[in-house]
A and B are shown apart, each in its own frame.
Chain A
Amino acid sequence: MELRPAASPHPAFVFEEDSGGVRAYRHRENGLQVLVLEQPSSPVATFMLTYRVGSRNEGLGLTGSTHFLEHLMFKGTERFHKDAGTSVFQALQRHGAQVNATTWLDRTNYYALLPAGEVETAMEIEADRMRGLRLADDAVTSEKTVILNELDRGENDPVRRLYHLVWATAFQAHPYGHPTIGWRSDVEAVTPAALRGFYDVFYWPDNATATVIGGVDEAEALALIDRHFGAIPKAPAPIPEVFTREPEQAGERRVLLRQEAQLGTVVLGWKAPPGLHDDADALAVLALLLTSGKASRLYRTLVDTALATYVGGSASRLRDPGLFTLYAGLAPGKTHAEVEDALRREVRRVAADGVADDELARARALVRAHDAYARDGAFAAASALNEAIACGDWRLFTTAEERLARIAPEDVQRVAQTYLLDDALTVGHHLPD
């Protein structure tokens, strides 16, 4: 018997999949992926375009290009630009839209959250600037100082600098080692031609996912997307792959940052598998058990004992292998060694003794509640989908609860034993002068 695919509500799109209320389509001509989550009673909608390009795609000397280009995308097109009173911000914010864009390791996203009746304006702008960006030399010059100020602001924060240093020390071959905003000298030296080249390689519909969430009708949303994006062709050449793989780390690495301050910080980063790896969920649970909430292990052993003033951590979910990070801010009078020892002791305790069923139940409750919170309004789900898209599978958002139900205490102990090894660790200390 021949299986018939589900009908698509618009002939320009092929229906691909339905998961957790999110329906996925792909444009037949140009390959643009579209995700739709209807919220019929909502007065607002989010339209988001996620490009599968981030600082991971930047080579030596071009660090920060993705982020720089993100800024330039707001300089507009022939239709949407400031001189005509129709800049991207003017056209969207006049409707009360929350508008912005972000760049991260694996992706760049542009979004607008606005009254549902105005969602077409956001689609029109994103389609227009996908291939129609005005990238003038003087715009690059003026935006360069804006970005350098953004970089300076970031450098004011020693915790942010230490975090960059830990990633740079852990990743010596793979581009995850450089900060998304780029090294200062690269930002200063980048040319309009280089940025135009970057744009022409990566900004195509078959390298993007459009997400529509909120008070919109699915068929109508698809029709609008086809109207505005349908005529854009596929990329003329394959999107370049990133071939670099980080060599296996064979020994603990340490990095120190001296910056004037009163209290220090400790960051620990272990090499972790890619976000779609079978062990990624168990590592995410381990991060929750260690750091989420005042009942978590690290809060009890570091913050509640006044050894640290805050703790945190996460298991990165990225396209390529990333880091499992833990961090803590020193309480007055405490030393880096005391705090580092306490963090490492708790990790060893999980590897040696495992975790309890009730800890896992707490993690499941957190994920279940967060799934409900992500469906409150039209933006939180877009934000979560954005990271799942970047990782390589948008269903990471819709299937989180059911995947977590399959994690057993032994899985959490096993991933702690497998990945949180001294030889795979990079330690960072911020030493206040």
Chain B
Amino acid sequence: MVSFRASFETHPDLAAHEDLAQRLAVRLLDKGTRRRDRFAFAEALETKGATLAFTADEHRVGFAGRCLRADLPAVLDLAAEALREPLLDAAEASKVLTHLDAAYRHAEEDTAAQSDAALSRLIYPHGHPNRSEPFEQTRVALAALTPDDARRFHERHFRSGPLDLVLAGDVDGLDRADLLDRFGDRAAAPAPPDVPAPFEAVPSGIEVCVPGKTSYDVRLGHAVPLPRPHPDTLAFRVALFALGGNFSARLMQTVRDRDGLTYGISAALDGAGATYGGHALVRANFSPDVLGRGLDRVREEVQRLVDEGLSEDELATVQQTLAGTHVVGLSTSGGAAAAMVAALENGLGADWLTVYPQRLQALTTDGVNDVLRRYLRPAALAVACAGPFAV
């Protein structure tokens, strides 16, 4: 079998809601092409047991899937056909808009989605790729979209930018040039837009009421000016892994295992892209009777990490853990394809999967703790809570 993953840059104008036009266009790609209707398209895939899903984010459009090796040319033909010759039909657009509206209604009722989005608005201004506008506003913007918006976006953006295609699995002997040919000639990549700076990190808070819920999702975070290729980024990610990267990390060992305050809690550098930074993020869920105590314990652990830093043993454990995680992550064809595409999209280079273990092992305790203390500021953490208020 073969797993495949591909993407190309589109850079929708976020301030003008072009990302919604892009989303509509992408959702329409498998809803009929000039060669076959939507059911024939689905049949062509499913009679092979193949999967093919089109994706979109704030910078790129892509597709991913898997199939038996013998079917790969035919499945990539379908992907190319959908990208190059979609019908973008008005009746289908109406249905897709109904489904998108429903998806945002569900998100409005989802405490995890609401807390993620609320924190993003405390950290990032309008037009930033990491900002999520209130879901009800997005629904209003969606309602104003027309099939022509999707057609215009497709016309302008789907043929520009080189297509990165990664194949993993049973790939020996495949003719790469032939596989890429079907996607046609592509123009140079569009220039990425300027990304507005995040807000100055100041402690702030927001509460989102989601009626009828029985627990709270909580997010704490602040902006960190570290794009993925920055030389300090790996050390910072390692430090946050020690805080909340897995069950053995500090937050799970204390707030869950010792104190019994939560089922799940984690920390990571989130949202960092190829050219702009992201934010330090702690995610947790608390039942109503322990929400205050839980938040206090999170703050204490973040402060303790900065005060104490990582010990030599702790860093060595994290290095060993992440080196093993790297091996495990690449052990499926889907995992390998995803890791390679992520490395390319994040500006880390095609050799990242090889150099990553070496960079990881080269980290020192002093170096990691220096980066940690330069970039993590417990007093500047913004807090977003979503649940059945009032607290």
Contacts and interface: CB of A to CB of B under 8 A. Distances in A.
B29 to A, nearest CB: 12
B331 A378 contact: yes
B199 interface: no
B263 A365 contact: no
Contacts of B286: 149
Contacts of B57: none
B327 interface: yes
A145 interface: yes
A10 B43 CA distance: 49
Contacts of B169: 376
A96 B260 contact: no
A118 to B, nearest CB: 8
Interface residues of B, number: 67
Interface stretch (A57-65, A86-94, A204-212, A217-225): A86-94
Interface stretch (B18-26, B212-220, B372-380): B212-220
A43 B215 CA distance: 41
A293 B49 CA distance: 10
Interface residues of A, number: 68
Contact of A293 (B46, B99, B213, B285): B46
A372 interface: yes
Interface in A111-140: 113-115, 118
Interface in A318-362: 329, 331-332, 358, 361-362
A376 B247 contact: no
Contacts of A329: 102, 106
A300 B248 contact: no
A263 B103 CA distance: 10
Given A44-B331, A142-B260, A145-B290, A94 B49 contact: no
A97 B214 contact: no
Nearest to B50: A369
Given A149-B261, A152-B287, 7 more contacts: A87-B248, A94-B248, A97-B324, A142-B260, A143-B260, A153-B215, A153-B285
16 contacts: A44-B328, A89-B246, A95-B321, A96-B321, A142-B257, A146-B263, A149-B263, A153-B285, A155-B214, A155-B215, A295-B46, A305-B95, A306-B98, A309-B103, A376-B169, A379-B332
CB-CB nearest 7 A-B residue pairs:
A96-B324, A369-B49, A260-B212, A377-B332, A142-B260, A152-B215, A294-B42
Interface of B: 1, 3, 30, 38-39, 42-43, 45-50, 66-68, 94-95, 98-99, 101-103, 105-106, 108-109, 111, 169, 211-215, 246-248, 252-253, 256-264, 285-287, 290, 317, 320-328, 331-335
Interface of A: 42-44, 74, 82, 87, 89-90, 93-99, 113-115, 118, 141-150, 152-153, 155-156, 259-263, 292-295, 300, 303-306, 309, 329, 331-332, 358, 361-362, 365-370, 372-373, 376-380, 433
